[in-house]
Structure 1
């Protein structure tokens, strides 16, 4: 890791900001990052998904009812595929386990505005659609589900807790109303997306 030379002033600001992120509650049950036990999380989980056809984000959005109307142009979402292999690879920032449920966490550093009011649910939903993060979290959910299926007694409906997107610039260490986007997809939707766009195993 490269060393970064910071003045004492900026170092203190950075430490204070990181602490706010760590203590910030993610939900009403006061789930946060600072209280995670060492055996309750996995960082940077890499995954590989074999693709059988181009992924159409508008098809997925219609399935999930994120948007009501189909896009007539049938726009394709461009993804990076390993040469001649048809493999989609990626890395999930953090996976945590709490009360026998697994949660997917992804960090976002987007600048949405000069104060935390620009990081409320309305603004977060807009940036999710604009940047196509919804497609990202469906792919991540499929990857995590495939990974967890190796475990005995795992069941999506009982054990898949959901997805947290943490917009770091909007987290003030006090509440989960700003800077935190949460979504839990239905199993039927994950199954349809997996079986349509990705090769075996079917789920």
Structure 2
């Protein structure tokens, strides 16, 4: 397995930020990977492992309430990497978040999650929420958020099956993270896209656990996806953002 740790995560993000998923040339991928391995001080012998990972990532089927597609069909011009977002916070507390998610806890991905809010430790805050989306891309008129995860969950593909990813998403509070990302994207699209309708134009969020993606095995491994209920997105917006509409 490729080395674990923060440096590896930054390395993977850097490669994916610069990767053209539509370019299937082996030499192109090898050159990119070798350049990044050298830049981050990793042994060049990892090149074949990382190139295989990129091949799987480009080819694996993605599907979320829409026709299946793969990242190899997403042109560079249709994606934004590391998109910054900001929105004002009128109030943010553990109790508020717990109540919102509790109201929607009948949804599979949220079952048991409100109780995990007790583990959060921060004082109520107001001010400005700032963050970055790893990728925002458009495919056939719908917009999708992607977050890359380099977490090591085990050496076997089975360690990355959907049921285990759901547990990891809750344990690491990625569930909270992607709901905030979706809220930020919703605000962005409402401003930028004339006639925008969430249910029609927003495709959903993918959390892609890079070490567990296998194109042959399909999206049942290494890929978590969700498109939150618009009522939940609006509930978050009304609770957190002044004059949310």
TM range (shorter): 0.7 to 0.9
Q: Secondary structure at the match of 1:165?
A: strand
With over 3 angstroms needed to count, the CA separation of the structure-2 counterparts of 1:58 and 1:143, relative to structure 1, is: same
TM-score normalized with structure 1 length: 0.86
Give the Cα separation in 1 of the matches to 2:148 and 2:54: 12
Distance apart, 1:70 and its partner CA: 5.9
**2:190 aligned residue:** 149
Distance apart, 1:196 and its partner CA: 0.6
220, 223, 227: which is aligned to 1:177?
220
Structure 1: segments with no counterpart, 5+ residues = none
**2:236 aligned residue:** 193
Report which of the two has the higher share of helix. 2
164, 167, 171: which is aligned to 1:130?
171
**2:63 aligned residue:** 27
CA RMSD of aligned residues (A): 2.7
Distance apart, 1:198 and its partner CA: 2.0
Distance apart, 1:79 and its partner CA: 6.8
Aligned residues: 199
79, 83, 88: which is aligned to 1:41?
79
With over 3 angstroms needed to count, the CA separation of the structure-2 counterparts of 1:184 and 1:198, relative to structure 1, is: same
Give the Cα separation in 2 of the matches to 1:55 and 1:123: 28
Where has structure 1 moved over 6 Å in runs of 4 or more? none
TM-score normalized with structure 2 length: 0.73
